[in-house]
Structure 1
Amino acid sequence: MQQSSFSSSSRWLSALLGLAALAASGTALAARDVVLAIGYQPETLDPYNTNSTITTAVTKSFYEGLFQFDKDLKIRNVLAESHDMSKDGLVYTFRLRTGVKFHDGTDFDAHAVKLTLDRVLNRENKLLRHNQFNRMARVEVLNADTVRITLKEPFGPFINSLAHASAAMISPAALKKWGNKDIAFHPVGTGPFEFVEWKQTDAVKAKKFDGYWKKGYPKIDTLAWKPVPENNTRAAMLQTGEADFAFPIPYEQAQLLKASNKLEVVASPSIMMRFLAFNMLHKPYDNPKVREAIGYAINKEALAKVAFGGYAFPAQGVLPQGVQFAEKMAPIPYDVKKARELLKEGGYPDGFESVLWSSSNNTSSQKVLQFVQQQLAQVGIRLQVQALEVGQRAEMVDAWPDPKTAKVRMYYSGWSSSTGEADWGLRPLFASESWAPKLNNMSFYKSEVVDQALAKALTTVDAKEKAALYKIAQDEIRKDLPRVPLLTDQNLSAHSKRLSGVHVMPDANINIDAIAVAH
């Protein structure tokens, strides 16, 4: 695949050499070449082996699934033209789009669907998204254009799961060539762009797929996803013309960027929740008084201003508003006196020492760490803080094999329900089946009430019953506080006015379906 890189890398070299001159002259990028500056580095290009939203945004350049969320999180058909569900909710039959090719020329058909899904269902492959799909009992090929999936039990959000960016169809020939692990560096799908190259500290580069089934798309020639962790650098790249789009942009620079007649700043609704999680297998975080005290000790409104430039607000529950079945709850108030009282009741009148990590090292996360460190110092909690690099996070948190020896103590991270409903906002973080490294319950929280409510909600199709069950779960989680909800922030992005068709979705994924540039 790398040999097809725009007459190999020569085209990229000439484009990059020309970039400096273009930036110096104030001229925009070449007419049909686009650079998207993002705040995080993707850790893989295998959509089934990541829990990172920005990583799946990148993989959507190359891959498509049977369904897809549009920019407003509405489900639309993509590689599946239609589907039927049996009355008992166990059997789904999908009729597939015909005439579609993978980038390597392989036909997309029911065999490709089966091979792709069987791969994630196979526990031996140890893919992070296994638990998202493990309710499938079997995948059967009925004919080249028809596939049948039988579930182990009814699963209300099944189509939502298939619309998730991780549910991508992979070329069988590419899987055979690269194998289960190396496919992570050689993505071959049916998407609008073909893979060119990826230097892991640099951009993921792609070119237009001339055989794309959606005629007239994509409307640009080349695409680069460039990780730029430092906020100010990302904003500067927009101003010099080195990037067409940046997300997230530094909140404190929003007004400056708005003043440019070449740029447009967009603040869009978000379903991203920012949390502090606690390892409940270790003292003092096994103590509910301590967890509650930390909730009271942090001024969320001030945090929204300091770290997010006011483009955020105190969390209104365990789930953000906008997620289906989210319960709206009053934010935990800021009350230092109450926090001290709770610490005393919990046996820590003088506070304690601990470590706070964050799931990323961008500027906003560093500001959150510093703010929380200062706030908790007021009640005697003395923190060492560390913003983790991608590799550190994967090793020390996401993939740590034994909960009993996990070194995480207090952990700042964000989570969005990228399927748009309560299940994926709750189960990966709070179900006991989701203890890391299986999913993202790095609090190692276990509640029979929550487990039972989430399990029952999955198998019912009655909306009222489902809402009641999710309310039970959310009320219990709010009482137990394995994670303290901090903020829901707006998605703040900016783009060159020559660029259109790039949208930050409510879950902080990025939609490039209609990406185009003005000539």
Structure 2
Amino acid sequence: MPEIGRNVMPETFDTNRRRLLKSVAAIPLLSLLGMSLTGVSARAAAADLVYGASDPAAKQGGSLTVGSLIEPPSFDIYHQAGEAVNFVAPLMYQTLVYADHDGNPHPLLAESWEINEDASVYTFKLRSGVTFHTGQPFEAADVKYSLDYMRNAENGTIGALDFADIDTVEAIDPLTVRVTLKQPNSAFLITLTHRNGSIIPRDWYAGENARARLNSTSVGTGPFRLVEFVQNSYMRLERNQDYWQPGLPYLDEIVVNFIPNSAGMLVAVRNGRVDMAVLVRPQDAEQLEGVGGLTVQRSRSLNQKSLDLDSEHGPLKDERVRQAIALLIDKEAVMQAAISGYGQVLGTTVPGLQERWGVPLGELPNQTVDVDRAKALLAEAGHPDGIDIELRTIIGYDWMEPAALTLVEQLAKGGVRVAIQRLDLGTWLQNFRARQMGFTLNDWGTPPDPNILYYRHFHKKPEGADFRNWANDEASTLLDEGRQALAYEDRKAIYDRFQKLLAESVPTVMMFGADHIVVVSDAVKNHAMHPIGWHFGLVKTWVDK
């Protein structure tokens, strides 16, 4: 994958202090943060900058069958947490801004934008002629409703904290929206690229059974519509005939078959039951070597496989216990067991952000195995004979089973005796949202900005969700400073300090990031997996059958 956030200098600057940057849509936001974000404007992006490269040889029509091990509990995108719904929701729902494979922001439902000097006021010009799947026209009032609904924590939305910095959303005219923040937020554009920023028709959730109805119909502006969802079986998407990007999508239909395990997935791939599958266990690609008619695609991700330590859970309340656990983990061995090395060992950030934002692993505490020190820390914490604890895994995330078994062996060497508890995704998500994570494996990705990676997960309440009950004042102060700083150098210094604190106190152990491994049949053309792992690429995928 190309280097994220290369230092690309714009061709022109205004000479006044606002330094108005032209055509910012074609320049990486992460590069902008190395200069000045103030006074920025953007114009519409070329078609090839949204959803990946177009293919002049593409044929319209056809059906694509995708195999998936992970099934969303529901498609209520504003209230359903977890990565499972993220994979396919962006095909049905769209945001104002799109982030490409390199983390560059491009206009999507917003045709252009302007940002004031201190990055506290964002004015968006919306696309005309866009309609929702309901047939309603897309207008500024819908953007205001969507952002206001999402940011209102009383609605039980999953992204309320992502947009808590919003002070007002104003519909200036039918195609102009002005968002004023309570304080500068240099990551706001990239925040808008997340599924939590999806735009839906105004007053949708005021309707009867609105949330349940989203399991049988979609109401977004995206290139595909949901027409059928049969739990424990499949979902079917069809081409949005009224989609606003001419000629897209290429496919008439996408069928997602939910398959219970990796063994079944391999059978489905070999016998042609599915045209494409994401291999949750990347090492399964080795079993497809030499199988005719198949191609395996491998790419870098913005994902992490982590071990979370709830700071209010039993012995994990003591920082020394959490540090001891970190010192017993051989991340490379866990990665080999879980995904046969098809990834990257992590320190305190995801693979796609390490080069630009990550602290080198050698400069972080608690990254190398030290059994004697771990035992000493447990003794200091009042556990000279070790501790007993349950490790939670999620059924359907096949990498977790071998990872958990390896962790059981590693932790036992220091006196941490582990029993594995397997939870279904719905129960795990309930614990997650209730901040009762306990001691658990986790699997999640991020848009390409450290604010989005860290703030909601690790900032103390009420500004953050603090899912791991860390409640660390110093960390929260650093996260506030990182969100408000505009220059890359300032942000980098702040996030370096935060990452060292994260590694020292250990509310989580980021173990490894798995590469994306996708197997496709020879009939599948022009597919590329987005680093975040969501199926944006299917908008420009086509089939030659």
TM-score tier after normalising by the smaller chain length = 0.7 to 0.9
Task: Give the 3-state SS of the residue equivalent to 1:384 in structure 2.
Answer: strand
Q: Is the 8 A contact 2:280 2:397 kept in 1?
A: no
Task: Give the 3-state SS of the residue equivalent to 1:34 in structure 2.
Answer: strand
- For 1:137, the aligned partner's letter is D
Question: Is 1:456 matched up with 2:481?
Answer: yes
Change in Cα spacing, 1:501 to 1:112, as seen in structure 2 (3 Å) is farther
Q: Is the 8 A contact 1:366 1:387 kept in 2?
A: no
Question: Is 1:398 matched up with 2:424?
Answer: no
TM-score by length of structure 2 reads 0.83
Counterpart CA distance in 1 for 2:233 and 2:401 is 22
Question: Is 1:409 matched up with 2:438?
Answer: yes
In the TM superposition, what are the counterparts of 1:59-208 in structure 2 within 5 Å? 59-172=89-202, 174-178=204-208, 181-182=211-212, 184-185=214-215, 186-208=217-239
Correspondence for 1:364 among 399, 402, 407: 399
Task: Give the 3-state SS of the residue equivalent to 1:187 in structure 2.
Answer: coil
TM-score by length of structure 1 reads 0.87
Question: Is 1:248 matched up with 2:248?
Answer: no
Paired position in structure 1 for 2:64: 34
Paired position in structure 2 for 1:514: 540
Task: Give the 3-state SS of the residue equivalent to 1:233 in structure 2.
Answer: helix
Change in Cα spacing, 1:164 to 1:456, as seen in structure 2 (3 Å) is same
Q: Deviations along 1:106-158, whole A, 9 cap, x unmatched? A: 11111111121121123321101111112111111111111111111111111
Change in Cα spacing, 1:244 to 1:72, as seen in structure 2 (3 Å) is farther
Task: Give the 3-state SS of the residue equivalent to 2:317 in structure 1.
Answer: coil
Task: Give the 3-state SS of the residue equivalent to 1:61 in structure 2.
Answer: helix
Counterpart CA distance in 2 for 1:73 and 1:183 is 33
Deviation of 1:357 after TM superposition, in Å, equals 0.6
Deviation of 1:210 after TM superposition, in Å, equals 0.9
Paired position in structure 2 for 1:423: 451
Deviation of 1:311 after TM superposition, in Å, equals 0.7
Give the CA RMSD over aligned residues: 2.2
Gaps of 5+ in 1: 1-30
Task: Give the 3-state SS of the residue equivalent to 2:477 in structure 1.
Answer: helix
Moved more, 164-173 or 123-132: 164-173
- For 1:516, the aligned partner's letter is W
Q: Deviations along 1:173-208, whole A, 9 cap, x unmatched? A: 754545653354232111111110112222221111
Counterpart CA distance in 1 for 2:468 and 2:193 is 28
Q: Is the 8 A contact 2:404 2:420 kept in 1?
A: yes
Work out the number of aligned pairs and report it.
480
Moved more, 64-73 or 318-327: 318-327
Counterpart CA distance in 1 for 2:451 and 2:96 is 20
In the TM superposition, what are the counterparts of 1:364-383 in structure 2 within 5 Å? 364-383=399-418
Counterpart CA distance in 2 for 1:213 and 1:343 is 60
- For 1:218, the aligned partner's letter is P
Question: Is 1:278 matched up with 2:301?
Answer: no
Q: Is the 8 A contact 2:390 2:439 kept in 1?
A: yes
Q: Is the 8 A contact 1:125 1:180 kept in 2?
A: no
Counterpart CA distance in 1 for 2:360 and 2:160 is 31
Paired position in structure 2 for 1:486: 511
Change in Cα spacing, 1:429 to 1:117, as seen in structure 2 (3 Å) is closer
Deviation of 1:346 after TM superposition, in Å, equals 2.8
Q: Is the 8 A contact 1:194 1:206 kept in 2?
A: yes
Deviation of 1:297 after TM superposition, in Å, equals 1.6
Paired position in structure 2 for 1:262: 293
Counterpart CA distance in 2 for 1:57 and 1:34 is 16
Change in Cα spacing, 1:462 to 1:180, as seen in structure 2 (3 Å) is farther
Q: Is the 8 A contact 1:39 1:231 kept in 2?
A: yes
Deviation of 1:504 after TM superposition, in Å, equals 2.5
Change in Cα spacing, 1:51 to 1:72, as seen in structure 2 (3 Å) is farther
Q: Deviations along 1:67-109, whole A, 9 cap, x unmatched? A: 1123443321111110111223222111111111112211111
Paired position in structure 1 for 2:333: 302
- For 1:430, the aligned partner's letter is F
Q: Deviations along 1:297-328, whole A, 9 cap, x unmatched? A: 22222211111112133223345452552222
- For 1:348, the aligned partner's letter is H
Q: Deviations along 1:354-392, whole A, 9 cap, x unmatched? A: 111124532211111222122222322222212321211
Q: Deviations along 1:492-516, whole A, 9 cap, x unmatched? A: 2211121134332222222223121
Counterpart CA distance in 2 for 1:326 and 1:184 is 38
Change in Cα spacing, 1:226 to 1:274, as seen in structure 2 (3 Å) is same
Paired position in structure 2 for 1:24: none
Task: Give the 3-state SS of the residue equivalent to 1:464 in structure 2.
Answer: helix
Counterpart CA distance in 2 for 1:378 and 1:488 is 25
Counterpart CA distance in 2 for 1:208 and 1:173 is 25
Paired position in structure 2 for 1:389: 424
Counterpart CA distance in 2 for 1:450 and 1:206 is 43
Task: Give the 3-state SS of the residue equivalent to 2:316 in structure 1.
Answer: coil
Deviation of 1:393 after TM superposition, in Å, equals 1.1
Task: Give the 3-state SS of the residue equivalent to 2:540 in structure 1.
Answer: coil
Q: Is the 8 A contact 1:278 1:442 kept in 2?
A: no
Moved more, 281-290 or 101-110: 281-290
- For 1:313, the aligned partner's letter is Q
Paired position in structure 2 for 1:23: none
Gaps of 5+ in 2: 1-60
Question: Is 1:43 matched up with 2:69?
Answer: no
Correspondence for 2:384 among 338, 349, 355: 349
Q: Is the 8 A contact 1:354 1:409 kept in 2?
A: no
Counterpart CA distance in 2 for 1:173 and 1:428 is 26
Task: Give the 3-state SS of the residue equivalent to 2:501 in structure 1.
Answer: helix
Task: Give the 3-state SS of the residue equivalent to 1:322 in structure 2.
Answer: helix
Counterpart CA distance in 1 for 2:164 and 2:347 is 31
Change in Cα spacing, 1:48 to 1:33, as seen in structure 2 (3 Å) is same
Deviation of 1:351 after TM superposition, in Å, equals 1.2
Deviation of 1:452 after TM superposition, in Å, equals 0.7
Q: Is the 8 A contact 2:281 2:338 kept in 1?
A: no
Task: Give the 3-state SS of the residue equivalent to 1:252 in structure 2.
Answer: helix
Task: Give the 3-state SS of the residue equivalent to 1:347 in structure 2.
Answer: coil
Paired position in structure 1 for 2:264: 233
Q: Is the 8 A contact 1:319 1:327 kept in 2?
A: no
Counterpart CA distance in 2 for 1:226 and 1:513 is 18
